[in-house]
Amino acid sequence: MPIINYLKKNAEKYPNQTALVEINPEVREIRRVTWKEYELIEPGYSQEYRREITWGVFEEKANRCANLLISRGVKKGDKVGILMMNCLEWLPIYFGILKAGALAVPINFRFTSDEIKYCLDLADVDALFFGPEFVGRMEEIYDSIPNVKILFYVGDGCPSFTENYLHLATNFSSIAPDIELTDKDDAAIYFSSGTTGFPKAILHNHESLMHAAIVEQKHHEQTHEDVFLCIPPLYHTGAKMHWFGSLVSGSRAVLLKGVKPKTIMEAVSNEKCSIVWLLVPWAQDILDAIDSGEIDISGYSLSQWRLMHIGAQPVPPSLIKRWRAIFPNHAYDTNYGLSESIGPGSVHLGVENIHKVGAIGKAGYGWETKIINSNGEEVQKGDVGELALKGPGVMTCYYKDEKATSEVLKDGWLYTGDMAMEDEEGFIYLVDRKKDVIISGGENLYPVQIEDFLRAHDAINDVAVIGLPDSRLGEIAAAIIQIKEGINCTEEDINTFCKKLPRYKRPHKIIFADVPRNATGKIEKPKLREKYCGESLVATQIKS
């Protein structure tokens, strides 16, 4: 059953009940927005901006979006991109694309204009929705993406090179178009990257999306009374697939634009959130704010908060010990997944297994796991090998990349590239990654991209970027820089140069040293990790 059927069911069963709430603490005034049906300022939100829509309106908006796309010639199997920050418009547009029979193609809002163009070309995107935050980046590339025949702007102050979606959509029918969809029809393309840092287009069908929704609801037992607080970006499979649990149960979800501890706690309290998914840095910031006295939890309504779960990066057991000391009544879960397995849930700890914190858990609902050696044979319990996954949520392929697909899909198994071990009780622990990807605060950083950028500096002779352990972010990017002989260069010089990079890609630590290479010219990163990961290093925080 295609996942759009859940939206239709909720609209019929709960037409006047709230589906989505958007809270934007950064907005300091009430302003008119064409899109919304409701603009409510509740007690506790005197300086915040809050919008909401019902399940009935959600369905109507998705149908109008679908009918608009069809009127512009978008056909079943076409690709439609979404380049937007989290907002109330995001999910109705996503479902409108699916209802039109097209493939939804969410794009990382951190991407530069060149990266956006690369993804649009790679995925054969025919139409694109983008928000006001991306006008500058789109101005740089809109005349060099001829395959993108339709550009829709979602916001106020429409640029001249695009069309105002919010105005157009109101003119189209709120009745669902008659498009036949099956589980095996293509549904979405998400982007990932290999060790080179160039994105791969990950193709999923409707069965994958449906399985992700069922897995989330099963794992966390979401009911119609639950309220899910969604903070991470919806372009990522993690946030969206966790929200799918709300879709299955027909329950309310809150899209929070802000990660400050007080912002999160106020949203939980005022919106009566019962399920909250946090990244490690956000959880740690909340605990630190409580310890420092910045937050007094007695001033918040938190009795309904029943589950805190974490994903996207390894979770320090010490963090959960601290959390449970302050919130002893919270259930806790951690999830493992990747975009190739439609996000979280392919492995999960389970709320009943708090005693196994440190493990990522066991195979999730409907999933199979095995740990294999280089020959594809299962290893003994306790031995390290590569984690492989099998289930209805495995991707169809890397779009237009047969070679890369054949390297990771073998006999229905997805080879994750993550090294792991399984204990005697069947719990899986991540050990290392085959790839050099650095996971910092839940975001993937690709060393080659950062190295290539730094090599453009006149004073740099050679450079290697590795991940160093960090108690808050999981890892930070460290640049080992070999300066040209006879040239003076300071850490401040490098930090200034790196301001041309997006903030999340900037190295947090600069180390001036020789860069070792082997006989074939490859950087010997294992040596660098052995040397620097064991030392006590204080991260150099890059300030804007």
Structure tokens at 219: 């794992």
The confidence score (pLDDT) of residue 435 equals 67
The confidence score (pLDDT) of residue 27 equals 58
The confidence score (pLDDT) of residue 434 equals 66
pLDDT at 45 over 90: no
Bridge partner residues of 143 (DSSP)? none
Task: Indicate the pLDDT class of residue 279, thresholds 50, 70 and 90.
Answer: confident
Longest Cα–Cα distance in the chain: 74
Helix/strand/coil percent split, the chain, to 5: 30, 30, 40
pLDDT at 228 over 90: yes
Give pLDDT tens digits for 449-500: 788 789 889 899 889 999 999 888 889 999 999 998 888 999 999 999 999 9
The confidence score (pLDDT) of residue 183 equals 95
Q: Where are the beta strands (DSSP E) in 90-225?
A: 103-106, 125-130, 150-153, 163-164, 186-193, 199-205
Q: Per-residue pLDDT averaged across 272-294, rounded?
A: 91
The confidence score (pLDDT) of residue 407 equals 94
The confidence score (pLDDT) of residue 432 equals 61
The mean of the pLDDT values for the chain is 88
Amino acid identity for residue 258 in this structure = G
| Residue carrying structure tokens 């109330």 | 88
Q: Per-residue pLDDT averaged across 373-394, rounded?
A: 93
Bridge partner residues of 439 (DSSP)? 444
Structure tokens at 6: 């859940």
pLDDT at 40 over 70: no
Alpha-carbon gap, residue 313 to 438, rounded angstroms: 10
The confidence score (pLDDT) of residue 518 equals 62
Structure tokens at 214: 């069922």
Tell the CATH topology of 306-433.
Luciferase; domain 3 (2.30.38)
Q: Per-residue pLDDT averaged across 236-253, rounded?
A: 93
Q: Where are the domains of the chain?
A: 4-258, 306-433, 438-532
Asked if the domains at 4-258 and 438-532 fall in one CATH topology, the answer is no
Alpha-carbon gap, residue 385 to 392, rounded angstroms: 23
Structure tokens at 213: 């929704």
The confidence score (pLDDT) of residue 46 equals 40
pLDDT at 253 over 90: yes
The confidence score (pLDDT) of residue 447 equals 81
Alpha-carbon gap, residue 47 to 30, rounded angstroms: 9
Q: What is the DSSP string of 51-117?
A: EEEEHHHHHHHHHHHHHHHHHTT--TT-EEEEE--S-TTHHHHHHHHHHTTPEEEE--TT--HHHHH
Structure tokens at 418: 């993550």
Pick the CATH number of 4-258 from 3.40.50.12780, 3.40.50.620, 3.40.630.30, 3.40.50.300: 3.40.50.12780
The confidence score (pLDDT) of residue 110 equals 83
Sheet containing 79-83: which strands, arranged edge to edge? 163-164, 150-153, 125-130, 79-83, 103-106, 186-193, 199-205, 397-398
State what percent of residues in the chain have pLDDT above 90.
67
Sheet containing 38-39: which strands, arranged edge to edge? 38-39, 49-54, 18-24, 252-256, 227-230, 275-278, 307-310, 331-338, 343-348, 362-363
The answer to whether residues 452 and 423 touch, using CB atoms and an 8 Å cutoff, is: no
The confidence score (pLDDT) of residue 312 equals 66
The confidence score (pLDDT) of residue 193 equals 57
Alpha-carbon gap, residue 253 to 243, rounded angstroms: 7
Task: Indicate the pLDDT class of residue 527, thresholds 50, 70 and 90.
Answer: confident
- Helix 90-99 to helix 55-71 angle (10° resolution) is 50
pLDDT at 240 over 80: yes
Task: Indicate the pLDDT class of residue 133, thresholds 50, 70 and 90.
Answer: very high
Specify the range with the lowest mean pLDDT, choosing from 80-84, 203-207, 376-380. Answer: 376-380
Give pLDDT tens digits for 93-128: 999 999 999 999 999 988 889 999 999 999 999 999
- Helix 4-13 to helix 55-71 angle (10° resolution) is 140
Q: How many residues does the chain have?
A: 544
The confidence score (pLDDT) of residue 354 equals 87
Alpha-carbon gap, residue 331 to 231, rounded angstroms: 19
The confidence score (pLDDT) of residue 47 equals 41
Give pLDDT tens digits for 47-80: 458 999 999 999 999 999 999 999 999 999 999 9
Between the CA atoms of 27, 31, 34 and 39, what dihedral angle is there, to the nearest 10 degrees? 80
The confidence score (pLDDT) of residue 38 equals 34
Q: Per-residue pLDDT averaged across 213-232, rounded?
A: 95
Cβ-count burial of 149 within 10 angstroms (0-12 exposed, 13-18 middle, 19+ buried)? middle
The confidence score (pLDDT) of residue 284 equals 84
Give pLDDT tens digits for 158-187: 999 999 999 999 999 999 999 999 999 999
Give pLDDT tens digits for 284-322: 889 989 999 999 999 999 999 999 998 766 677 878 889
The confidence score (pLDDT) of residue 130 equals 97
Tell the CATH topology of 438-532.
GMP Synthetase; Chain A, domain 3 (3.30.300)
The confidence score (pLDDT) of residue 25 equals 83
Structure tokens at 273: 């959130």
Phi and psi at residue 44, to the nearest 5°:
95, -10
